């Protein structure tokens, strides 16, 4: 039987620890091709490169797989992989990550990791973004790997619904073992930003953006944030039709 073709990308860049761990898992499951950014792309959301050229080079970071680094965003990597590098063989799965840091709740919108997975879904390819709730460069990933393998194999065997990418978040390692996996919804939350004003050595002002996470759903047990807070892995099936259908009906009664 032909092994599935798995496209691996991320947003922390091709040399990050998280993508190495993800490649290790995916090599157990299928034929792996890596196309990943040549620099960190955290917070790039669903950015694509317009008006500037893209660079793409073969690399030799991993063992015995086809691998490329790209000057663009995670979404660019998926587009280049699908329409250029792999134009003769459509991938069976796109996986993105393992991100250093959570992409639960509203963070999905800012996430380069999930934009790559959603780009896969737009292309009609089953897609999963994996994120670990630990942003440290040397974060510990090993407790997550058996779960990532299981979720990936289940996804390949059941098939992910059309137009859906899975947003998988995994608790950072802690005293307790992970309790299990919960399929749930995106918590309604936001980042409350603060801006730290400083003056550079040339006398010009600048700001560092920082933020506190505010969970409007903190009382509710059916969200990704609840799952992670309670030491479960969360899976949110996520889609790219942003239409709010109830509001369509409401606005149709306006005098426009």
Residues 177-216 that bind a second copy (CB under 8 A): 180-181, 183-186, 188, 190, 192-195, 198, 204-209
Q: Is 138 in the site for a second copy (CB under 8 A)?
A: no
Can you tell me the distance from the alpha carbon of 120 to that of 94, in angstroms, rounded to the nearest whole number? 6
* Least CB distance to a second copy at residue 255 (A): 7
CA diameter of the chain? 65
Please say which residue, 1 or 242, places its beta carbon nearer to a second copy. 242
Can you tell me the distance from the alpha carbon of 157 to that of 88, in angstroms, rounded to the nearest whole number? 23
Please say which residue, 175 or 241, places its beta carbon nearer to a second copy. 241
- Compute how many residues bind a second copy; rule: CB under 8 A: 79
Residue 164 and residue 229 in contact, taking contact as beta carbons nearer than 8 Å:
no
Please say which residue, 23 or 70, places its beta carbon nearer to a second copy. 70
Q: Which residue has the tokens 């997550």?
A: 144
Residues 82-101 that bind a second copy (CB under 8 A): 82-84
Can you tell me the distance from the alpha carbon of 81 to that of 125, in angstroms, rounded to the nearest whole number? 12
**Is 215 annotated as ligand-binding?**
no
Local structure of 142: helix, strand or coil: helix
Can you tell me the distance from the alpha carbon of 239 to that of 224, in angstroms, rounded to the nearest whole number? 15
Kindly report whether the peptide bond that precedes residue 98 is cis, defined as omega within 30 degrees of 0: yes
Residues 99-118 that bind a second copy (CB under 8 A): 106, 108-110, 115, 118
**Is 99 annotated as ligand-binding?**
yes
Stretch that binds a second copy, among 2-10, 16-24, 30-38, 77-85 (CB under 8 A): 77-85
Stretch that binds a second copy, among 17-25, 27-35, 91-99, 246-254 (CB under 8 A): 246-254
- Supply the DSSP symbol for 85: I
Phi-psi region of 65 (alpha: psi -120 to 50; beta: other; left: phi over 0): beta
* Least CB distance to a second copy at residue 128 (A): 11
Q: Which residue has the tokens 């030799």?
A: 60
Please say which residue, 4 or 40, places its beta carbon nearer to a second copy. 40
Residues 15-44 that bind a second copy (CB under 8 A): 40, 42-44
Number of residues written out for the chain: 256
Please say which residue, 19 or 223, places its beta carbon nearer to a second copy. 223
Residues 213-232 that bind a second copy (CB under 8 A): none
Please say which residue, 2 or 60, places its beta carbon nearer to a second copy. 60
Q: Is 137 in the site for a second copy (CB under 8 A)?
A: no
Q: Using alpha carbons only, how large is the chain's radius of gyration in Å?
A: 19
Phi first, then psi, for residue 227 (nearest 5°) are -55, -50
Question: 12, 67, 69, 76: which one contacts a second copy (CB under 8 A)?
Answer: 76
List beta partners, residue 131.
99, 169
Other CB atoms within 10 Å distance of the CB of residue 40: 15
Q: Is 154 in the site for a second copy (CB under 8 A)?
A: yes
Q: Annotated binding residues for a divalent metal cation, as ranges?
A: 11-12, 42, 99
């Amino acid at each position: 039987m032909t092994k599935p073709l798995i496209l691996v990308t991320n947003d922390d860049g091709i040399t990050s620890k998280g993508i190495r761990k993800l490649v290790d898992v995916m090599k157990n499951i299928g034929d792996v091709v890596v196309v990943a950014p040549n620099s960190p792309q955290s917070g790039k959301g669903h950015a694509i490169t317009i008006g500037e050229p893209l660079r793409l080079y073969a690399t030799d970071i991993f063992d015995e797989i086809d691998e490329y680094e790209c000057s663009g965003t995670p979404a660019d990597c998926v587009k280049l992989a699908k329409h250029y590098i792999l134009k003769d063989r459509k991938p069976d799965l796109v996986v993105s990550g393992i991100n250093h840091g959570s992409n639960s709740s509203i963070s999905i919108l800012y996430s380069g990791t999930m934009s790559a997975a959603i780009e896969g879904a737009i292309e009609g390819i089953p897609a999963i973004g994996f994120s670990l709730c630990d942003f440290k460069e040397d974060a510990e990933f090993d407790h997550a790997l058996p779960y990532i393998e299981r979720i990936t194999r289940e996804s390949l065997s059941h098939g992910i619904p059309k137009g859906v990418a899975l947003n998988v978040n995994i608790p950072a390692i802690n005293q307790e073992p992970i309790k299990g996996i919960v399929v749930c919804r995106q918590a309604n939350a936001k980042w409350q930003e603060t801006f730290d004003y400083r003056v550079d050595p040339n006398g010009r002002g600048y700001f560092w953006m920082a933020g506190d996470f505010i969970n409007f759903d903190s009382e509710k047990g059916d969200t990704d944030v609840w799952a992670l807070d309670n030491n479960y892995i969360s899976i949110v099936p996520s889609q790219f039709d942003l239409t709010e259908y109830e509001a369509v009906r409401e606005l149709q009664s306006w005098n426009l």
